[in-house]
Chain A
Amino acid sequence: MIWPLLRFSLRRLLSRVLAAAVCGMAGAMAALLLYNEPALEAITQMRSQAEPLFKALGVGGSASLSLHLVSIGLGFYLPLVCLLFAVSAAAQLMAALVESGEMAHFLAAPKSRSAVVCTQAAALLLGVLAVVAMPFAAAMLGGLLLHPGLLSVPGVAAAFTGLLAMTAGAALFALMISANRDTALSARRRAHAWIGLAFVLWMLSRADNMLAYLSYVTPFMLYQPERLVLLRADGWSGAILFLLAGLICLVLGSVRFSRRDLPL
């Protein structure tokens, strides 16, 4: 771990973390505000009219406040916000530094390139943690104030942990791509293309039973907040697999970054 680089990277990420966290908190609060009879009725009515779209967006049942929060917030909106943050932050932490030449200051120090990648991964994961934790905190606080006693704290915490694992895996995948690119733009484009494709396939697989087979080709099928919120044990396997995949990406990114030529 290179502490000066970690401090530098966290400072660099701060504005992005805040922007993503505010968007996430707004989403969580909106989901809580929509938990009232007229709104639920309206959602049910709209869902009956455009069922594939609502299914694609992950909007399911609202049998309890926790399920409603997962359905509205964690089915589409929060994962999207977190993934956008992950890709953007990963590009900023590796490829952008190479592109601007700032990386030369860190690589000219007696530190290994693997240590640089690991430090940037730590900064990225701390950023991801903040981006997921702040909407969770907002949901908890909002639930307490708006609907006292209705929110299942362990269930929602488990669902947000699932979101955290999924975002961490995607972030490390984006970091691996970023470690292999020379410009932030190309890193963002490449990561957006892969993650975006997987995300769209995931949405399509949920939209229609005819397209359900698509879930086998997208890693997002491992993201199952609706199971985690019910504290079902089978929901955790996906979260663990996301973390393992992220670790593999980190190792691959580190090896590649250590061996490649850098245009500095």
Chain B
Amino acid sequence: MALIDLQNVTKAHPGGGGLFDCTIQVEQGASFGLLGPKGAGKSTAVALLMGFIKPDAGTCQIGGRDCFRERQDIQARVGYVPRHPALPPRMTGEQFIRMKSALAGTRSPRKEQELIERLAINPLGPCERMSDAMQQKLSLLGALMGAPDVLILDEPTLSLDELSYHPLQEVLAEEKKKGTTIFITSHVLRDVQRMCDVIGIIRKGRMAVVQPARALEYTRQKVYHITFATNQEASDFAQEWQTAVEVLQNRATVAIPGSPQVLVRTLAKYTVVDLIGGRQESEESYLRYYGDDTA
């Protein structure tokens, strides 16, 4: 049985958007990345898991308990990082850490100190004067204070720079080794690819695809840039190839999802001056699920 279990969940927002007939299952100890652009329904899924909102239809459970009705029991084992840290502005970082420890009912100064050092957090001074990245890291630290079984992170890397990103990745990898189940949302493919075993791509509130992070590598399209000897040849090739081709003078760009064997056979009939490509960033593969949405 999956630890995190959303079954055919629908939650429509009055202004449009939300989550529709969405099913997500995350096994214990696994890490799941929910990937999608802004407004796709990622934060709605997180709000449902945290029991902030109740579903219009379907069931939403963590560890077999209903996320809305039994949220108090669930939250005892969940660490949560909101999309916007929203730290109390006048509170200092130290006060915030103490408050989170007290709320979680656990106080471990050693763990606090270790996380402060690893995440390079400066807890001095009021939160309102801290950078967004520092606030995000403090929020993460707060989520880890209660030694949770489940981590729910809503866009945890939103404000982080590269320097802050790696310690976060390491901390999450360690949590995963300890058996913590991780649920991350992001609109950046790289983030979820690095931190998750399984990626779900969400489009307009509906799950477009759920697959292992590695599978996304294999299914990505490859783009080739071909330079022909003449403009006419480029035009003839475009007519013959027909799908997913762009022509500019004597150059053509094609995108193909699998082996380039057919392309190579077709090109044998033409005088090819140059051929570059064969790899495509996964980001483009992810964009395929969205079409114009991400523009």
A residues near B (Cβ < 8 Å) are 2-5, 7-8, 11-12, 100-102, 104-112, 261-264
The residues of B that contact A262 with a CB separation of less than 8 Å are 47, 52-53
In the complex, the answer to whether B103 meets A264 with C-beta atoms within 8 Å is no
Q: Which residue of A lies closest to B100 (CB)?
A: A105
Interface residues in B87-138 (C-beta closer than 8 Å to A): 87-88, 90-91, 98-100, 102-105
Q: Which of B47, B75, B90 contacts A109 (CB 8 A)?
A: B75
Q: Which residue of B lies closest to A99 (CB)?
A: B86
Q: Which of B54, B75, B84, B102 contacts A108 (CB 8 A)?
A: B75
Question: Does B36 have its Cβ within 8 Å of any Cβ on chain A?
Answer: no
Q: How far is the CB of B1 from chain A (nearest CB, A)?
A: 22
The residues of A that contact B54 with a CB separation of less than 8 Å are 261
In the complex, the answer to whether A102 meets B103 with C-beta atoms within 8 Å is no
Q: How far is the CB of A258 from chain B (nearest CB, A)?
A: 10
Besides A261-B53, A264-B52, 13 new A-B residue pairs in contact (Cβ under 8 A), listed by A number: A4-B99, A4-B103, A7-B99, A11-B90, A101-B82, A104-B82, A107-B50, A107-B51, A107-B71, A109-B104, A111-B72, A262-B52, A264-B82
Question: Does B78 have its Cβ within 8 Å of any Cβ on chain A?
Answer: yes
The residues of A that contact B72 with a CB separation of less than 8 Å are 110-112
Q: A102-B86, A110-B73 are in contact. Are A8 and B78 (CB under 8 A)?
A: no
In the complex, the answer to whether B52 meets A102 with C-beta atoms within 8 Å is no
Question: Does B142 have its Cβ within 8 Å of any Cβ on chain A?
Answer: yes
The residues of B that contact A3 with a CB separation of less than 8 Å are 102
- Interface pairs A-B: 3 shortest CB-CB: A101-B86, A110-B76, A109-B103
The residues of B that contact A101 with a CB separation of less than 8 Å are 82, 84, 86
In the complex, the answer to whether A4 meets B102 with C-beta atoms within 8 Å is yes
Q: Which residue of A lies closest to B96 (CB)?
A: A105
The residues of A that contact B82 with a CB separation of less than 8 Å are 101, 104-105, 108, 264
A2, B105: Cα distance in complex, Å: 11
Question: Does B80 have its Cβ within 8 Å of any Cβ on chain A?
Answer: yes
Q: Which residue of A lies closest to B77 (CB)?
A: A110
In the complex, the answer to whether B80 meets A104 with C-beta atoms within 8 Å is yes
Which of A100, A261, A262 has the most chain B CB atoms closer than 10 A to its own CB? A261
Q: A2-B103, A4-B103 are in contact. Are A108 and B86 (CB under 8 A)?
A: no
Q: A110-B72, A264-B82 are in contact. Are A104 and B52 (CB under 8 A)?
A: yes
A12, B100: Cα distance in complex, Å: 17
